[in-house]
Amino acid sequence: MNSQINIPSKKLIFLITLLVIFLTLSLVVRAQDSGIYIKVGEAQIKKSMIAFPQPNFIGSGLATPQQAKTGAELFKVIQHDLLVTGYFDFATTFLDDISNTAPVPVTADPNGFKFENLKKIGANFIIRIAFSISGNNLTVDTYTYQVESTRLVLGKKYTTTLTNLNRIAHTFSNDLLKALTGKEGMFLSKVVASVAKEGSKVKEIYTMDWDGYNLHQETFHNSIALSPNWSPDGTKIIYTAFIKKGGVNGLRNPDMLLYDLTTKNRWLLSHRKGLNSGGAFHPNGKSVFLTISRDGNSDLFHIDLEGNIIGKPLTQGPLGALNVEPSPSPDGSKIAFSSDRSGHPMIWVMNSDGSNLKQRTFAGDYNSAPAWSPDGTKLAFAGYEKNHYDIFIMNEDGSKMERLTEAKKKGGGWASNEDPVFSPDGRHVMFTSDRDGKNQIYIINIDGKNEHRITFDRKDYFKPRWSTNFSSEVVLK
């Protein structure tokens, strides 16, 4: 027997309205309970305003030059980290005399700041930092509040030595981004690149913090060192260098070397006659993919860390074809690479054993340097057309291709943007550009917005590669 319940239309509308209100309130409560304050998609449409006054020194009397410098550096690094995300703007005026207020609200300290005044300037969050110095030790107290709810989003104490000041700043930025978005940033990562000093043809391998600080030369071959890449744990680097050998006329050969940053030991990984280049670690860190040239072909191979070839060549021609720049996917199941087997160099993808070969790009004169996103869903590459390179991003299957870069040189011609690599958090792409005369490093959000220059010198940088996040080396309390 079927039964029906007839509800008058007005009553039905009323009940539906109540249901919608209930579901909306439930979603709001769940969002607050989850601890997510900023949704990335919304942040790209409307940035959050942060009130971030200069950090306060804890102590009596006027700050010494060392204390003032420390506060200024903490402010500079943290502000730069957060600006690069593209999620934030910073308040430029304050209604309180912030320099003379406690780093907590008046509800916790009578001399604290007032949320009402922060609301008047449109601030969504406030960051307060107080620090102290004892000998060579630095202690940093941080407080971040959401203004509307007056809720403490993040409160942490960091201690380390003064020489690790930047690490404290980057660690705080990572922690704050995770507290606000649910996903930490890339601020503790490092970069390795091939670098040529101004006026020199010599290229050596350098490492640096992601923001260009702490640039450090790692090789001294006085030759040409190229295409560096990190081991997954960040303790080793592989690269190709033209090393002088004992053959006729002391000919140099492009050999692949493995360098241990911890022990400072270095050894030849692949020194077969001809090309040994474009090395990339398998995600398990136990083997390497690279290009080896022999029998007139440049093919992709898989070798162990003793230099022994594993299995058969991953590519086998066709005769005379170049197969270069192998880039394994984050799970190690696939390899993207550049090959001119179809005429012009294009991006191809295959299984890591060489099977299931698929062409992914079909346009442009020259597509090179493929790089995977950390989640394995996207590829970035450099595409050449109209006498310059630009950075493109696409889905792994080649769909939804988008141009990320487009810049002109001071003289008016198009600049070349090359060597893309994703950040460890997948939010950015790093690349090199010659728009200012020298090949410098830049980053851009994956939506093509919020571009920032990272290096500011007269060197030329090539093939930067981003590490995963390193240990902070900071004691957290």
Confidence check: pLDDT of 92 > 50: yes
Nearest 5°: phi and psi at 17? Answer: -60, -45
* Inter-axis angle of helices 165-181 and 65-85, nearest 10: 40
- Under the banding of pLDDT at 50, 70 and 90, the label for residue 1 is very low
Higher pLDDT, 316 or 243: 316
Is the confidence at residue 373, as pLDDT, over 80? yes
pLDDT band at 42 (very low <50, low <70, confident <90, very high): low
Based on the fold, state whether residues 287 and 156 are members of the same structural domain: no
Share of the chain above pLDDT 70, in %: 88
DSSP code per residue over 399-450? -S-EE----B-TTSSBPPEEEEEE-TTSSEEEEEE-TTSS-EEEEEETTS--
103 vs 81: CA distance, rounded Å: 21
Question: DSSP secondary-structure letter at 315?
Answer: -
pLDDT band at residue 95 using 50, 70 and 90 as cut-offs = confident
Share of the chain above pLDDT 90, in %: 79
pLDDT at 279 over 60: yes
Residue 209's beta-bridge partner residues? Answer: 190
**In this model, does residue 251 exceed pLDDT 90?**
no
**pLDDT score, position 7:** 38
Is residue 17 in a domain?
Answer: no
Q: How far apart are CA 423 and CA 419, in angstroms?
A: 13
Confidence of residue 99 (pLDDT cuts 50, 70, 90): confident
On whether both 426 and 297 belong to a single domain, the answer is yes
Residue 293 lies in a domain: yes
What DSSP string describes 10-22? HHHHHHHHHHHHH
The pLDDT of residue 244 is: 66
d(CA 40, CA 180): 10
Of 62 and 253, more confident: 253
What is the three-class DSSP state of 321?
A: coil
Q: Quick: pLDDT tens for 337-346.
A: 999 999 999 9
Domain final position from 181, 213, 228: 181
* More confidently predicted of 27 and 344: 344
Q: How far is CA 368 from CA 170, 346, 348, 384, 408, in A?
A: 32, 7, 10, 8, 21
Mean pLDDT (the chain, rounded): 89
Please indicate, yes or no, whether residues 196 and 324 belong to a single structural domain of this protein: yes
Q: Which domain-ending residue is among 162, 181, 200?
A: 181
**Where residue 254 sits, what CATH number does that domain have?**
2.120.10.30
Average pLDDT over residues 375-393: 97
This prediction has a pTM of 0.89
Pair 166, 232 in one domain:
no
Q: Which of 126, 146, 181 is the last residue of a domain?
A: 181
How far is Cα 236 from Cα 263, in angstroms, rounded to an integer?
A: 10
pLDDT at 8: 44
d(CA 346, CA 368): 7
Is the pLDDT score of 454 beyond 90?
yes
The residues facing 184 across adjacent strands are none
Range 407-426 average pLDDT: 96
Average pLDDT over residues 124-140: 95
Q: How far apart are CA 326 and CA 346, in angstroms?
A: 13
pLDDT at 36: 81
